[in-house]
Structure 1
Amino acid sequence: MTEIRWHSRAGQGAVSGAKGLGDVVATTGKEVQAFALYGSAKRGAALRAYNRIADEQILNHAKFMHPDYVLVIDPALAYTDTITEHEKDETKYIITTHLSKEELIAGIPDLQGKEDRVFVVDCIQISLDTIGRSMPNSPMLGAFVKVSGMFELDYFLENMKRVLKKFPQKIIDANMEAITRAYNEVK
């Protein structure tokens, strides 16, 4: 089973990102869960969203997990939240930041010694450039697709277009650009 934990703030799209990822995974015939836990529903409040992906039925519905991937959408949460909580020896971290990987790791002692498992991408800047506002969930999905190798980029984009079909074409196109750019820029 693959487990993914998202660290975000309300309004940054982590819940929508987890659900969109779940929708695409479901097209592969795998079982998937996508859910979130958060306190107040106020915009800006810290929250966590989760995905589980498996070949067989998923009976575990607990928030507790040992994540294979930790996706940090809000850069500040990399410093203030316990992003390494319940990690595995192979957990991979994808973190939104304008810093280099070396600068980021230097400021987060829990990530030191895990350089080969930490990936950085500036999802906020990418979303500002492509979507026109800070909505870093789509770029994070692009980075996840690259780091995980779970999907071919073209397959993921085609299925995300279906997920986003309720939106105007301009928004769909902007999201496709954001996903592709993050896929290409994640380091």
Structure 2
Amino acid sequence: MSKKMDIRWHGRAGQGAVTAAKTLAELISQEEGIYAQGFAVYGAEKRGAPVVAFTRVNDKPIRDHSEYMEPDIVLILDPTLMGLIDVKEGLKKDGKVIVNTAFDKEEVIKELGLEGYEVYVVDANKISIETLGRAIPNTPMIGALAKVTGLFSKEEVSKGVVELLEEAGKFPEKIIEGNRKAIETAYEEVK
């Protein structure tokens, strides 16, 4: 794993962008000598309002808690945000973009002006509806991110998230199993 990585998550309140940023940080920080933080910057958002969350990874303690970053990776959890946000804002020249969409990669590249960037698509809404019964794209996007970055194998990421959900002690087995399936399916289907 790279010793330093900045990730920006764009979604809408209620889709789990903040939870995904924090969950990823928790998974990554379990590796010895790696520090991670997951946080969001928002006010009293109502369900459906745009939200931005962040995950920082470093081999040194992270003292920067600002929202400014030059991300290596940008994830878009809500396809309706395409065109409403500047996905490329601060994105490194060799940056990666992962979009939750049913559109194909070429359409997304053209729509967002992402020529020259690595762009990946996965239909995380469809996956979450099939595995969890509703469109909560955060865990499928973690699965897609794991595959795109090579941070975790499919087994490592699904096992890690399942363990975190079990430790929380508030999710029924059906939800935990649905999240496992969502992660593994997105890991396989991201293109």
Tell me if TM exceeds 0.5. yes
State the Cα deviation string for residues 7-53 of structure 1 (Å, max 9, x = none).
00000001111111111112112101100012332000001000001
Check the 8 A contact 1:37/1:48 in 2, yes or no.
Answer: yes
Q: Tell me how large the CA RMSD over aligned residues is.
A: 1.0
2-structure distance, mates of 1:40, 1:149: 35
Instruction: Tell me, in whole angstroms, the C-alpha distance in 1 between the residues paired with 2:82 and 2:9.
Output: 11
1:93 and 2:93 matched: no
Give the share of equivalent positions with the same residue, in percent: 43
TM (norm. structure 1) is 0.95
Deviation at 1:183, TM superposition (A): 0.3
SS in 1 for 2:99: strand
Match for residue 16 of structure 1 among 16, 19, 23? 19
CA contact (8 A) 1:39 1:47 kept: no
Tell me the distance in 2 between the aligned counterparts of 1:39 and 1:122.
28
Deviations 1:123-174 (A, max 9, x none): 1111011110010001000000000101122122211111111211110000
Residues in 2 aligned to 1:31 and 1:104: alpha-carbon distance in whole angstroms = 33
Match of 1:130 in 2: 131
The AA in structure 2 aligned to 1:119 is Y
**Equivalent AA in structure 1 for residue 163 of structure 2:** R
Q: Which structure 1 residue ranges, 5 or more long, are not aligned?
A: none
Query: In structure 2, the residue corresponding to 1:102 is in which secondary structure?
Result: helix
Residue 179, structure 1, aligned to residue 186, structure 2: no
* Aligned counterpart for 2:36 among listed residues 32, 37, 57: 32
> C-alpha distance in 2, partners of 1:184/1:107?
25
1:111-130 paired onto structure 2 within 5 Å = 111-114=114-117, 117-130=118-131
Once the two structures are superposed, residues 53-87 of structure 1 have per-residue CA deviations (whole angstroms, 9 ceiling, x without a partner) of: 11111121111000011010000112211111011
Runs of 4+ in 1 over 2 A off after TM superposition: none
Question: How many residue pairs get matched?
Answer: 184
**Does the 8 A contact of 2:159 with 2:180 survive in 1?**
no
Mapped to 2, the partners of 1:128 and 1:44 lie a distance apart of: 17
Q: Which whole-Å CA distance do the structure 2 matches of 1:105 and 1:39 have between them?
A: 31
Distance 1:45 1:4 in 2: 20
User: What amino acid does structure 2 have at the position aligned with 1:123?
Assistant: A
Q: Using the alignment, how far apart are the partners of 2:105 and 2:123 within structure 1?
A: 11
- Change in 2 beyond 3 A, CA 1:113/1:90: closer
The offset of 1:112, in angstroms, is 2.4
- Contact 2:87 / 2:112 at 8 angstroms: preserved in 1? no
State the SS of the aligned residue for 1:80: coil
The answer to whether the aligner puts 1:164 opposite 2:165 as a matched pair is yes
More divergent stretch after superposition (23-32 vs 133-142): 23-32
